[in-house]
Structure 1
Amino acid sequence: MRSKELIKSIILGLLVLMSVVLTYMTWNFSPDLANIDNQVSSSKASETNVIGKPLNEGMGKVVTPYQIVHSEGEDTEGMEATKQNVEATLEPLKDHRVIRSEQMHSNHNLIIPDLTDEFLVLDFTYDMPLATYLGQALNIDAKVPNNFKFDRLIVDNNKDGYVKLYAISKDRHNVVRMTTSAKLTKLKKVMKQQQKIMKPYTEIITNKDTIDRATHIFAPKSPKGMKSYHTIYNRIGVDTMNSILFNDSVVVRSTKSGTTTYNNNTGVANYYDDSEKYRYTNLPEDENRSTNMQDSIPSTFDYINNHGGFTDDFRLFNVDNKSGELTYQLFLNGRPTFNEEDLNNIKVSWGDKGVFSYARALLKANVTIDSGEDETKLPGAETVRSELANNPEINFEEVTNMTIGYKMENQPDKSDIEIQRNSEFKPQWYVQYNGEWRAYNDGGLE
């Protein structure tokens, strides 16, 4: 009996002691907010380190032809390079391999004797490393000549029912012929569907290097129903760009004449209020700018894409092999846009260890609509060719490309916080002349 009473007393004493301890801990509890603070700051950092949503499809959405042309005998048709058109056309080529390849050279005009009567032309506006395009844009396993670059890819058939590719160099004197494992039947099935939306194109000869079927310049024959468009923009914050490009805290060095300069120990950036353009330079990489496009093209794509920098339909449009600068240009409805102030592009170059320079307008499209204006009646390709060829101020042999694009005209900004910046996109002929894209106007080039 006494032992039972003793046990009860011990249990009661323990309960009282536990109550006292718990009360003390409650009164003196101080939550550890360190982890919460870290999580919040990490969340904020992740939000400020991106501009938009990264592309899931990979480099093939940004490194694309600017036009697709189908040639069969005397008939030539083509179509604008919308994302849907490009994806459908290239799908039969993807995820295959090059069985064999060989490089051929011609001192005179390039002739491909085994080219069949029907083939597909994919035209690019820049020199593209062949191995990079095949491997990273098309996922084709290929052993091709090192450092070979092309700006035209011809898709042809082989006698055994498989697809044959011809990558043609920009100077039109070199070609790499490749036999692939892609079946011709699948390509023909796709092209039968694509031809339903193709329109007549014409073949243009400008010099001795464009006189063969494989090297003609192709352009829309009689463009019709060309609409203009109106775009309203959202703005990208300067702080967002700084958080992406600078590794640590940024100092505002100066603000004058509408220009704000930011810098730290590794880089410097300028923001121009009037144009809303931003340019960053990585100082340690100054002497190490890369001109190796086999590295720079994939690296710049990954860098821009990782922070959602391809906010609109940007495509690789120009590669400067001397300076190492790449230009990703805005496309609209599968056609390139042009703007004198470079508000329609992203310019970036790569260093040994990372980005060297990065420039863009801090604008992204909010909405793009039909402007409601009357359709623009553009002259036919033959008219453009004839007037340029007869213009004494133009050396027609220097014309290397012709296409229809959109001229991006900036609308006045009234500096009212409720007035969003906007642009008009108007169709116009553009001609690549002596390596530079220029607008065609009334028989000449602007």
Structure 2
Amino acid sequence: MKYIEPVKSIILLILILLSLTLTFTIWTYSPNYPETDTPVVDISIAEKKKMEEVVRPYRLLISQPDNLKGSNSLVDINSVINSMKNWEIGTVKLFSNNTNVQQVNELINQPYASTLFFQADVPIESYGSILKFVDPIFPNTSFNRLVIDWNSSDAEGTEGEKNSSQGLTLYFISTTQNKIYSADVSKEDINSFSEHMIKTANAMQVYTEIARGGKYSIFTTGNPEKIVQYSYLIEDIDINRFKDALFNIPSLVVRRSNPVGSGEQYTDDNALMTVDPMSMRLNYVLPSAEGQFLGKSSELLYNSLSFVNEHDGWTDDFRFSRMNKESNQVNFQLYFEGLPVFSHIMSTEIMQSWGSNRVYRYNRPYFTLNDQPFSSKDIELLSGREAYELLSLVPNQQVSMIEEMVQGYYLSRDADQPLFTLVPSWYYLVNGVWIRLSPEDLGGGTFGLE
């Protein structure tokens, strides 16, 4: 009997050890499941872009005492912006709360000033990711003209003008809000920048100001210019890549013919994507996301850029061109060789409408331009001044309503061959709409000469 208690203790210890061993085995057990080949969906369509690659000016204007030079070349524009990246820009302050046309025209025209023109009002806070501002707190405002006053010490100054000892000044102008904000730049930057501006201006086109009395001046080319007309083979992007990028579970998406016409529909229980092969446009709608975006304009622009970056959707040179905060809509215009591309038959814009937390509607082209053109030839366009003067002779045309004039490309599609043609043309802006100045507008006269 004296051995019963020790035996019981040994048995109990063994049971405890077995229990601990089984518990540890259960916790650490990992079954060997058979390997399966799960396909990884590649939603990379083209490339990602930074803010500075999408929020780009369409024109650079350099004013000197004896001339006015301009350019839409990305090389010239980037050279100015890249120089500005090294600056330390001071606090952005209100300069004029109710500016007038004359004040804006004078700022742009003053000697030793460079102006960057933007197609849409850019939130100043968004531009804070491109340039280096000392003060990270920005006013909740936007601009569409950025004037760089680099007035040199040897200029014939007038009262109120700056000289080189005072450094550079930036003027953020909004012609839609009639406001101007300004910021100073440290004085050590002015000499090298002045030399760079003079050198850049020497290689640029002669521009002219069309003053219009009580209206913002139009700055345009002073001489005729040869621009290349291109033809490209049509290259469409596999629509399945957009399907995989936009739908949560692509394998559940059903494809069927569009019941109201040509094209196709892609749908699941939540979203619908329609495809129009004539305009080569897709339209994606997520009804559950419809709502009001409550963020600032800078947040809306950032979210729109990020959304396209999520599927590497920048297929060509698209630039921020429009924002409607009331409808939460952001547009990006197709550009080619520094000129905007418009069309009545083809899709040339990326459009997003935002809901409360994500994109509600996404409308865009699904084609891209090849690297090598199929054919090309030179077209000589009239100068901007000549085009404006001819337009003023067109019956029933109120030139006073024209807000801007730019060179652009008209994108047409060959009915018999898979070809795009980019035709150099003049465009003018009226009530937010770009209108092509065609030979028919001029009564059949010559518009461009081969």
Q: TM-score range by the shorter chain?
A: 0.7 to 0.9
Kindly indicate whether the alpha-carbon contact (under 8 Å) linking 2:293 and 2:357 is maintained by their aligned counterparts in 1: no
Structure 1 counterpart of 2:129: 136
CA distance in 2 between counterparts of 1:236 and 1:413 reads 20
CA distance in 2 between counterparts of 1:433 and 1:228 reads 25
1:380-429 CA-to-partner distances (Å, cap 9, x unmatched) read 22222223334442222221111111111112256xxxxxx321111111
Where 2:103 maps in the other structure, the secondary structure is coil
CA distance in 2 between counterparts of 1:348 and 1:266 reads 18
Counterpart check, 1:388 vs 2:391: yes
Kindly indicate whether the alpha-carbon contact (under 8 Å) linking 1:78 and 1:201 is maintained by their aligned counterparts in 2: yes
Question: Alpha carbons of 1:233 and 1:32: their partners in 2 closer, same or farther (altered >3 Å)?
Answer: farther
* TM-score, normalising length: structure 2: 0.80
Question: Alpha carbons of 1:171 and 1:277: their partners in 2 closer, same or farther (altered >3 Å)?
Answer: closer
Counterpart check, 1:439 vs 2:436: yes
- The counterpart of 1:179, out of the listed 164, 184, 187, is 184
Output the amino acid matched with 1:274. Answer: M
Matched positions, count: 394
CA distance in 2 between counterparts of 1:75 and 1:163 reads 21
Identity of aligned residues (%): 21
1:138-176 CA-to-partner distances (Å, cap 9, x unmatched) read 343445663212111101135335321111112373211
CA distance in 2 between counterparts of 1:325 and 1:341 reads 22
Superposition deviation, residue 200 in structure 1:
0.3
Counterpart check, 1:92 vs 2:92: no
Structure 1 counterpart of 2:175: 170
- The counterpart of 1:198, out of the listed 201, 204, 216, is 204
Kindly indicate whether the alpha-carbon contact (under 8 Å) linking 1:95 and 1:140 is maintained by their aligned counterparts in 2: no
Structure 1 counterpart of 2:269: 265
Superposition deviation, residue 437 in structure 1:
0.8
CA distance in 2 between counterparts of 1:411 and 1:433 reads 29
* TM-score, normalising length: structure 1: 0.80
Output the amino acid matched with 1:245. Answer: L
Counterpart check, 1:81 vs 2:73: yes
Output the amino acid matched with 1:76. Answer: L
1:61-99 CA-to-partner distances (Å, cap 9, x unmatched) read 1111001010112410011132x3222111121154432
Structure 2 counterpart of 1:37: 37
Aligned pairs for 1:335-374 (under 5 A) are 335-369=339-373, 371-373=375-377
1:324-379 CA-to-partner distances (Å, cap 9, x unmatched) read 22221221111111111342221122233222211112111223427343x22222
Kindly indicate whether the alpha-carbon contact (under 8 Å) linking 2:280 and 2:346 is maintained by their aligned counterparts in 1: no
Q: Unaligned regions of 5+ residues in structure 2, if any?
A: 1-30, 151-161, 444-450
Superposition deviation, residue 438 in structure 1:
0.6
Counterpart check, 1:403 vs 2:406: yes
Structure 2 counterpart of 1:50: 44
Output the amino acid matched with 1:72. Answer: Q
Question: Alpha carbons of 1:330 and 1:114: their partners in 2 closer, same or farther (altered >3 Å)?
Answer: closer
CA distance in 2 between counterparts of 1:85 and 1:402 reads 20
Superposition deviation, residue 110 in structure 1:
4.2
Superposition deviation, residue 122 in structure 1:
0.4
CA distance in 1 between counterparts of 2:133 and 2:346 reads 34
Structure 2 counterpart of 1:72: 64
Superposition deviation, residue 225 in structure 1:
1.7
Question: Alpha carbons of 1:443 and 1:410: their partners in 2 closer, same or farther (altered >3 Å)?
Answer: closer
Aligned pairs for 1:85-124 (under 5 A) are 85-103=76-94, 104-106=96-98, 108-111=100-103, 116-124=110-118
CA distance in 1 between counterparts of 2:63 and 2:113 reads 6
CA distance in 1 between counterparts of 2:228 and 2:374 reads 7
Kindly indicate whether the alpha-carbon contact (under 8 Å) linking 1:92 and 1:186 is maintained by their aligned counterparts in 2: no
Where 1:296 maps in the other structure, the secondary structure is helix
CA distance in 2 between counterparts of 1:218 and 1:317 reads 19
CA distance in 2 between counterparts of 1:340 and 1:310 reads 22
Counterpart check, 1:255 vs 2:257: yes
Structure 1 counterpart of 2:25: none
